[in-house]
Chains A and B, each alone.
Chain A
């Protein structure tokens, strides 16, 4: 009997969560490149619209989300030692996730007050589609964490945290391109 090992054995967690992570990165990556492609045709218009975005809120949300990712990773580590500690770390991750959504809601409300909507311009169409789709992933992550609080196993928790880190990763790529590049 030979000991057969595959390069796939290196991967932490389930293979399927990595398939999901790669798929999501490709979808958001294509969206961001399409945004930059549209920008190339109207750089002045995109820069004018981008000036209406709240960069401080976007930057604050980056710190909120990476801190939330840290809490999710600590929840996975805590699982084998203490269920209570795992739940506390998971609750902290959810708390930061909710803060992210509140800041995002504030940003959307601020735009609405100025009469800015999804059809205002090409820039804002991309802004709402990309940040809105990302925010929906944050909501999905929060629902997954809520379920894991009650029915978490180590395997499920690892997969849930990996999903959350993917949401982190997408934001880290999305924020500079939408909010800063001009």
Chain B
């Protein structure tokens, strides 16, 4: 991966991490909205690491597979979070 892409990935990862921290500070008890936003931000950070740090940008088939795993995992995490509300 080129140095330019790596630097852009680092800037994006730091921005997403700071957004997570800021969001946690501003809306610490916002329930479902807070949790969904934090999980989506985590998914975006994971996507950047897979694409640019691990180089899957050059392997679209595998990037698709890992993205499907991430979406499934984070979706299941959100469902488990919401489970007590349904009981």
Is B80 on the interface with A (CB-CB < 8 A)? yes
Contact B13 A12 (CB under 8 A): no
Contact B58 A12 (CB under 8 A): yes
Is B67 on the interface with A (CB-CB < 8 A)? no
Size of chain A's interface in residues, with CB distance under 8 A? Answer: 42
Is A181 on the interface with B (CB-CB < 8 A)? yes
> Which residues B49-69 have CB closer than 8 A to chain A?
49-50, 52-56, 58-62, 69
Q: Of the candidates B17, B54, B59, B62, which one forms a contact with A66 in the assembled complex, judged by CB atoms under 8 Å apart?
A: B17
Closest to A55 in B: B24
Interface string of A1-37 (1 = CB under 8 A from B): 0000001001111000010010001000100110011
A-B contact count (CB 8 A): 114
Is A59 on the interface with B (CB-CB < 8 A)? yes
Is A162 on the interface with B (CB-CB < 8 A)? yes
Question: How many whole Å from B57's CB to the nearest CB in chain A?
Answer: 9
Which of B17, B54, B58 has the most A CB atoms < 10 Å from its CB?
Answer: B54
Contact B6 A77 (CB under 8 A): yes
Contact B77 A33 (CB under 8 A): yes
Contact A177 B61 (CB under 8 A): no
Q: With A33-B76, A77-B3, A181-B81 as known contacts, state yes or no: A69 contacts B53, CB within 8 Å.
A: yes
Which of A18, A39, A62 has the most B CB atoms < 10 Å from its CB?
Answer: A62
> Which residues of chain B have C-beta atoms less than 8 A from A29's C-beta?
73
Contact A70 B62 (CB under 8 A): no
Is A117 on the interface with B (CB-CB < 8 A)? no
> Which residues of chain A have C-beta atoms less than 8 A from B73's C-beta?
29, 32-33, 173
Contact A40 B49 (CB under 8 A): no
| Given pairs A7-B62, A74-B6, A181-B39, 8 additional interface contacts (CB within 8 A) | A32-B73, A36-B77, A39-B80, A40-B83, A55-B24, A77-B6, A172-B46, A180-B24
